[in-house]
Chains A and B, each alone.
Chain A
Amino acid sequence: NAGVTQTPKFRVLKTGQSMTLLCAQDMNHEYMYWYRQDPGMGLRLIHYSVGEGTTAKGEVPDGYNVSRLKKQNFLLGLESAAPSQTSVYFCATGSGGYPQETQYFGPGTRLLVL
């Protein structure tokens, strides 16, 4: 099993360009999350989804959109990239079944916006 995968691993964008980050999971988890990690700030929640067709805003949603058309995929979109969106992006999943459960993280996508 691949677990949680993220595509691409690294990307360079110019200001104003758009792109979509893909998170895919084969764990049959209902819950999926997108975080961004910045130096000195830890991981901050951008958006999350508790099931196919549902999404919700996290702490730092501005400038991002998400979609969960299929249970196994969670897409994070940047419509018009800004240098402030330079970051490492992590996807995570969880079954939501029990409170002590960890979240399962993908390997991260490093995004550089010039």
Chain B
Amino acid sequence: AQTVTQSQPEMSVQEAETVTLSCTYDTSESDYYLFWYKQPPSRQMILVIRQEAYKQQNATENRFSVNFQKAAKSFSLKISDSQLGDAAMYFCAYRSLFDNFNKFYFGSGTKLNVKP
């Protein structure tokens, strides 16, 4: 099974500033998808952004962008202009394209605090 590592259990950022959350993964596969999910205190899992491995261009969704380094197996999430509503747990997830059952492998999560 693939492993996904989030080495920052908790981070803090000042409102309106930029923060980067790290994620690395281990795989021998050449093509796959990577996802970032947000889990606010409500516990609802919300998709933030996704990236397919064969696409070199980094994905962007409004204030959220990724830095995808395939050779380094790194997939970091950058949040610009942080808002109080960004405070949540963030999970990185891996999905193989060779898995017919669409299983996801999640990292351990990073808790993001946003200071006013």
- Stretch of B11-19, B61-69, B72-80, B103-111 at the chain-chain interface: B103-111
B14 shortest CB reach to chain A, Å: 26
B35 CB–A CB distance under 8 Å: yes
- CB of B101 within 8 A of CB of A31, answer yes
Q: Which of A68-108 contact B (CB under 8 A)?
A: 88, 90, 92, 94, 96, 99-103, 105, 107-108
- CB of A101 within 8 A of CB of B108, answer no
Closest to B47 in A: A102
- CB of B50 within 8 A of CB of A108, answer no
- CB of B33 within 8 A of CB of A50, answer no
- CB of A100 within 8 A of CB of B1, answer no
- CB of A42 within 8 A of CB of B43, answer no
A85 shortest CB reach to chain B, Å: 18
- CB of B45 within 8 A of CB of A44, answer no
From A48, A58, A105, give the contact of B45 (CB < 8 A). A105
A114 CB–B CB distance under 8 Å: no
Q: Is the interface of B mostly helix, strand, loop or mixed?
A: loop
From A35, A43, A50, A92, give the contact of B101 (CB < 8 A). A50
Closest to A40 in B: B108
Residues of B participating in the A interface, judged by any CB pair closer than 8 Å: 1, 4, 6, 9, 33, 35, 42-45, 47, 50, 52, 91, 95, 97, 100-104, 106-109
Residues of A participating in the B interface, judged by any CB pair closer than 8 Å: 31, 33, 35, 40-45, 48, 50, 56, 58-59, 88, 90, 92, 94, 96, 99-103, 105, 107-108
